[in-house]
Structure 1
Amino acid sequence: MTSFPERVFSGVQPTGNLHLGNYLGAITRFVAMQESHDCIYCVVDMHAITVWQDPNDLRQSTREVTAAFLAAGIDPVRHIVFNQSQVSAHAELAWVFNCVARMGWLNRMTQFKEKAGKDRENASTGLFVYPNLMAADILAYRATHVPVGEDQKQHLELARDIAQKFNNDYADRIAELGFGDAFFPLPEPLIAGPATRVMSLRDGSKKMSKSDPSDYSRINLTDDADAIAQKFRKARTDPEPLPSEIAGLAARPEADNLVGIYAALAGTSKEEVLRTFGGAQFSSFKPALSDLAVEKLAPVAAEMRRLTADPAHIDAVLADGAERAAALAEPVMNGVKDVVGFLRTRRGGLPG
């Protein structure tokens, strides 16, 4: 069985207004994983244009996400931080995967149905084949693990299906070239933590999102202490006190969300939060949650402001990361071309 060295890949879309959901669901986990894994973190600007983006806003948002990575503690020297569009292997491999993936697979993707809505005929083809590009993002580096939220799990399962089909379709050629019994690994999801899916402060059944028309639905990473306190104070809850056991959160989505946010910010479990606050009214829990959020987010927001004021530094980080990412992806892409049967006049690729 072909073995692959462990490598983590993940990305964040540069669509502006980074919020607490992005921070807890992705960025803090990126920081933790860099202590135990070889990590590649990507600002996926090619994914962003599956829906129309103002070019100036896209550039600014790309730098803002990069600043958030750095401000939260991601080390761009020990690991790789770059933006997707600077490495051509993503687009090249996505085309190959467009020819491997099946229409039926893509038609089952629930996120496309949600984003396209009732007017599917006017959705971009990019939005439809988005999961193939996501598979290319991961497999261009032969990544073995991907930190994903529940809403991206289906896309990762598709990436595994694409990798498996490529390995099966070209099994003889892969063996002939000396790559063993598989060219691509089947990437595994990394889903952990008490708040991997942070919900709206106004509706516990909906994910926290920048597209929500109410700014009170989310905590933006750039919110000051007063804004954070006000938003948590106005967060929707029910009249009952917090339960003492986690089972008591089952039919209370807003309460469950706030307890999960506290647990994630404090680096503890929901059970431990309820041991401390069980029986308390929200009038006493919300101020404690606000104070904790300010304590954790204020330094990140301050560092983000400092970094975004120096775009040349951010651009230099991305350029260095892109160069290093391309060096990893090029031999993989060359191997794909050899497997598929593309003629290459320039040599160099994965050892066979």
Structure 2
Amino acid sequence: MTDSTTTYTGPERVFSGVQPTGALHLGNYLGALKKFALLQHDMECIYCIVDLHAITVFQDPKTLADQTRHIAAAYLASGVDPAKALVYNQSAVRAHTELAWYFNCVARTGWVNRMTQFKDKVGKNAEKASVGLYTYPVLQAADILAFKATHVPVGEDQKQHLELSRDIAQKFNNDFGVPNFFPHPKPLIDGPGAKVMSLRDGTKKMSKSDPSDASRINLTDDADAIAKKIRKAKTDTGDVPATMKELEGRPDIANLVGIYAALANISEKDVLAQHAGSQFGPFKAALADVAVEAMAPITDLMSRYLADPDELDRILSKAGDKAAEIADPIVADVRKIIGFRGA
């Protein structure tokens, strides 16, 4: 449905969000947080802790606030500067929920029915899932368009949701005769080194929901924990291959090579050139050294931020106020466009 010829002339703006559920890990850092820190130097960036999305499944009220602070600490420890980018929690800005309702009335049920991620999550238990889980791609569209964001960092699993955001923007603009009011946000696709797999199974993504803590490197893991997990990471038989061609079909060692390259800021070819023919023991030791060196500053900053929840709350509140200053006038314009009395 999206019309690629539509031209939006507003400012370029990045929006992205992370749910406050579970501990963030190396995959989150390389796939998202590191990129977020780089983007802030080139574009206006708004980074949200999407606590409204989190409650599509039950969250313990006693821990939700701390989980939110944990994600904020991860953003900041990964290099996101609150003086350059906004880091706030979604529920602090009412524009998200208000615009989501308007978009619920714009989006078509057929569009939402096509969202494969809902089907993947609920399986045969769709009737027991919350309505929020079903409609959360519409809230996601509101998250993005409440700020008229033009670019969204996404992985493969979120590209369909971003396309829905584009369709909603297009239909709103068409329905109400306001060409180019909402932009059609563009994806910023994950780059090299962004896809990190489980240390226990190189065919599965590293996940904070994996029951095995050994499957991931948490951003709060100390040097000993990081080294131990890498030593125990799954490999196959043989040694480190010499070429990328030889790496094909070997997901476990390919994962470790990819992690090495991303953390050392070199190519996978360079990693293979340095370690071709090496046994896995020495290679893992070298990878552990690289990982500890790269992650230690992040772990240290995480610990310092988490030890000062009042400072995290101050940063979140200040950014939430600034986010509302951007989103509230946009949603006020939406009310006028729709035709609400007194808008």
Q: Same fold (TM over 0.5)?
A: yes
- One-letter code of the match for 1:49? I
Which runs of structure 1 show a deviation greater than 6 angstroms over 4 or more consecutive aligned residues? none
Give the corresponding residue for 1:277: 275
Q: Does 1:104 align with 2:125?
A: no
What is the CA–CA distance in structure 2 between the aligned matches of 1:101 and 1:187, rounded to whole Å?
A: 16
The equivalent position to 1:29 in structure 2, one of 27, 35, 38, is 35
Give the corresponding residue for 1:348: none
- One-letter code of the match for 1:21? G
What is the CA–CA distance in structure 2 between the aligned matches of 1:330 and 1:114, rounded to whole Å?
A: 34
What is the CA-CA distance between 1:282 and the residue it aligns to? 2.0
What is the CA–CA distance in structure 1 between the aligned matches of 2:151 and 2:237, rounded to whole Å?
A: 42
Give the corresponding residue for 2:265: 267
Q: Does 1:81 align with 2:87?
A: yes
The equivalent position to 1:126 in structure 2, one of 110, 121, 132, is 132
What is the CA–CA distance in structure 2 between the aligned matches of 1:248 and 1:339, rounded to whole Å?
A: 59
1:260-289 residue CA offsets vs partner (Å, 9 max, x unmatched): 211211222222222222333322221111
1:11-26 mapped onto 2 (5 Å cutoff): 11-26=17-32
Does structure 2 conserve the Cα–Cα contact (< 8 Å) formed by 1:8 and 1:40? yes
What is the CA-CA distance between 1:241 and the residue it aligns to? 2.4
Structure 1 residues 216 and 102, CA, compared in 2 at 3 Å: closer, same or farther?
same
TM-score (norm: length of structure 1): 0.92
Structure 1 residues 224 and 185, CA, compared in 2 at 3 Å: closer, same or farther?
same
The equivalent position to 2:285 in structure 1, one of 280, 284, 287, is 287
Structure 1 residues 298 and 91, CA, compared in 2 at 3 Å: closer, same or farther?
same
Give the corresponding residue for 2:338: 340
1:201-259 residue CA offsets vs partner (Å, 9 max, x unmatched): 11122211121111111111111111111111111111132332323333222222212
What is the CA–CA distance in structure 2 between the aligned matches of 1:240 and 1:118, rounded to whole Å?
A: 42
Aligned pair count? 337
What is the CA–CA distance in structure 2 between the aligned matches of 1:107 and 1:276, rounded to whole Å?
A: 49
The equivalent position to 1:143 in structure 2, one of 142, 149, 156, is 149
- One-letter code of the match for 2:321? E
The equivalent position to 1:71 in structure 2, one of 63, 69, 77, is 77
Structure 1 residues 344 and 254, CA, compared in 2 at 3 Å: closer, same or farther?
farther
1:128-148 residue CA offsets vs partner (Å, 9 max, x unmatched): 111111111111101111111
Q: Does 1:326 align with 2:332?
A: no
Does structure 2 conserve the Cα–Cα contact (< 8 Å) formed by 1:82 and 1:318? yes
Q: Does 1:40 align with 2:46?
A: yes
Does the residue aligned with 2:324 lie in a helix, a strand or coil?
A: helix
- Unaligned 5+ segments in structure 1 are 175-180, 346-352
TM-score (norm: length of structure 2): 0.94
Structure 1 residues 302 and 2, CA, compared in 2 at 3 Å: closer, same or farther?
closer
- Tell me whether 2-11 or 318-327 shows the greater mean CA deviation: 2-11
- Tell me whether 81-90 or 244-253 shows the greater mean CA deviation: 244-253
Does the residue aligned with 1:129 lie in a helix, a strand or coil?
A: helix
The equivalent position to 2:192 in structure 1, one of 174, 191, 194, is 194
What is the CA–CA distance in structure 2 between the aligned matches of 1:213 and 1:156, rounded to whole Å?
A: 29
Identity across matched positions, percent: 61
Does the residue aligned with 2:88 lie in a helix, a strand or coil?
A: strand
What is the CA–CA distance in structure 2 between the aligned matches of 1:227 and 1:289, rounded to whole Å?
A: 13
When the two chains are superposed, the root-mean-square deviation of aligned CA atoms in Å is 1.4
- Unaligned 5+ segments in structure 2 are 1-6
What is the CA–CA distance in structure 2 between the aligned matches of 1:47 and 1:237, rounded to whole Å?
A: 36
Give the corresponding residue for 1:241: 239
Give the corresponding residue for 2:3: none
What is the CA-CA distance between 1:184 and the residue it aligns to? 0.8
Does structure 1 conserve the Cα–Cα contact (< 8 Å) formed by 2:22 and 2:209? no
- One-letter code of the match for 2:310? A
Does the residue aligned with 1:40 lie in a helix, a strand or coil?
A: strand
Does structure 1 conserve the Cα–Cα contact (< 8 Å) formed by 2:96 and 2:139? yes
What is the CA–CA distance in structure 1 between the aligned matches of 2:262 and 2:108, rounded to whole Å?
A: 38
